[in-house]
Amino acid sequence: MSLNVVTLVGRAGRDPEVKYFESGNVVCNVTLAVNRRSKNTDQPDWFDLEMWGKTAEVAADYVRKGKLIGVKGSLKFDYWQDRNTGANRSKPVIRVDRLELLGSKRDDEQAATTSYDEF
């Protein structure tokens, strides 16, 4: 038996990056910060998320930096060869099957204000 299920709740680390293909497919990439509790401070773990199709379109329309979201999907690895060194590289990516928009409208407004004040 095999099982590859990832469930995370956290805040979007940046606005989504969306790509539309001639075939009609759409992909959306975003980072997710999930706090990891430690004795002294909360340390975020960062995850790269990949969404396709309708899920990608919803993320593109409604997810913004700081938005609280929940995701369910599977872990995969992207592999490539470094152009400069020729070394083989890889990174883990969560392929999202289900996206939940969490938090309240007030949370969204507060996140927008916080983001605005930082600049």
pLDDT for position 118: 34
Of 104 and 34, more confident: 34
What value does the mean pLDDT of the chain take? Answer: 88
Rounded to an integer, what distance in angstroms lies between the CA atom of residue 110 and that of residue 119? 15
Secondary structure of 45-108 as H, E, C letters: EEEEEEEEHHHHHHHHHHCCCCCEEEEEEEEEEEEEECCCCCCEEEEEEEEEEEEEECCCHHHH
Domain 6-117 in CATH 3.40.190.150: no
In the predicted structure, residue 89 carries a pLDDT above the cut 70:
yes
